[in-house]
A = this chain, B = another copy of it.
Amino acid sequence: MLEKYLDYSAEVLEAKKAGKAIVALESTIISHGMPYPQNVETAKEVEDIIRQGGAVPATIAILDGKIKIGISDEELEFLATSNDIEKASRRDLPYLIATKKNGATTVAATMICAELAGIEVFVTGGIGGVHREAETTMDISADLQELAKTNVAVVCAGAKSILDIGLTMEYLETNGVPVVGYETDKLPAFYTRSSEFDVNFRVDDASTAADLIRTKWELGLNGGVVIANPIPEEHALEEAFITNVIETALKEAKENNIAGKNVTPFLLGKVKELTEGTSLTANIALVKHNAVVGAGIAVKLQK
């Protein structure tokens, strides 16, 4: 039944048959997260890093209503340049697939497709979370509910501080999702190596991370594991700088009566504007670093 929906690349199919470690990658970063041609370059470099780590990359996207598990160079170019790619979260998959449309998968949708394909590790930049002002807007990313129920480990650099990280941690705690620091006691915040929040647990090697993940699922404790891996020191933005950028942006938002659901896109735009090139460089660096860690964990899980 499922087979008719999934379309594996030759590389991934071979890896599955050989029992090799596979690492899922999302496509929102390609279609909506980075400008061209950096999106294509980064996607290819990240795939290569995973190969060098001894695993096989499986970039996931919806193309013509098929769930692609692994994409070709032409498909990557299409995802990176077309304007006809919807952002695909859990709620969007049935529509996009039934009506044969294209979709770039978010963290939530990539987790779903990875689980369908039997892939246990997924590398991304940052997870979605509880938005600032969510106390009144209830704007909470579907990524968090996916982490609560879908069996995929998500290697990321934490969540962006334009989100409310404290509320995000509370939501994950209520839903029983472990947030594991990789070589860190502090929760990283995407552009920065730390935040004011502690991770739940620290692990210092891929083997321990893999043990924790395997134990969770063997116990029947369904849901994801957040592996929070800080951005490499040399590319990290200053915490004071990024905090200042966000505070400036929040102040501007207030002055312009931007509230509720409009705050997040406004903050995203301001951060981009005020940090310019450095934020893109940082984003690329952290994703690559996550790929190194993710491949390592995937290899250990396969043993």
Contact = CB atoms under 8 A, between A and B. Distances in A.
Given A5-B218, A170-B138, A171-B138, A176 B99 contact: no
Q: Is the interface of A mostly helix, strand, loop or mixed?
A: helix
24 contacts: A2-B220, A5-B219, A90-B176, A91-B178, A93-B219, A94-B212, A94-B216, A94-B225, A95-B180, A97-B215, A97-B219, A98-B212, A98-B214, A99-B208, A99-B211, A112-B219, A116-B219, A135-B138, A138-B167, A139-B170, A140-B170, A145-B175, A145-B176, A146-B176
Interface string A147-170: 010000000000000000001001
Nearest to A67: B219
A184 interface: no
Interface in A1-31: 1-2, 5
A94 B174 contact: no
Contacts of A94: 178, 212-213, 215-216, 219, 221, 225
A171 B212 CA distance: 30
Contacts of A212: 94-95, 98-99
Contacts of A282: none
Interface string A113-148: 000100000000000001000011111111011101
A72 interface: no
Given A142-B173, A142-B176, A221-B112, A211 B167 contact: no
Contacts of A208: 98-99
A93 B145 contact: no
B116 A220 contact: yes
